[in-house]
Amino acid sequence: MNELKSTSTLIPSARSEGDALVVSVSGEIDLNNSPELRGALFGLLDKSLSKRVILNLENVPYMDSSAIAVLVELLRRMGKGPNKVFLTNLQPRVRGLLEIARLNTIFVVTESEAEALAKTS
């Protein structure tokens, strides 16, 4: 396991574990700070060269479509294939938005980081 440092307070912690980048995201995310999330997330991805990304959204009570666009861009960047981007610990509002946009079908949604890590190993 290798701890990584993020440039943004939206990502209070991140680490490499196996071939996965595990990122904790924190805060409400809308058009005001989604560009910051995008920069920080892709910066970590560039540094880690991970093949999979696990985003722990336990501390994200709200996100809007601009944050969803960052997640979709991440998925495109990770390339084709199953089990590339995991979203864990979704709060009800975030889960609801993904369902409305029918995007819960293109991400792997798990209840915990452990469950996601088990699927990557």
Residues that bind another protein (CB under 8 A): 28, 30-32, 64-66, 68-69, 72-73, 75-76, 93, 96-97, 100-103, 105-106
Smallest gap from residue 98 Cβ to another protein (A): 10
Smallest gap from residue 40 Cβ to another protein (A): 17
Q: Which CB atom, from 19 or from 62, has the smaller least distance to another protein? A: 62
CB 53 within 8 A of CB 90: no
Region of 105 on the Ramachandran plot (φ > 0 left; ψ -120 to 50 alpha; else beta): alpha
Q: Which CB atom, from 4 or from 103, has the smaller least distance to another protein? A: 103
Smallest gap from residue 69 Cβ to another protein (A): 4
Q: Which CB atom, from 69 or from 114, has the smaller least distance to another protein? A: 69
Beta-carbon count within 10 A of 90 CB: 22
Q: Which CB atom, from 60 or from 117, has the smaller least distance to another protein? A: 60
Cα distances from 66 to residues 24, 38, 116, 118, in angstroms, run 18, 10, 24, 30
Beta-carbon count within 10 A of 104 CB: 16
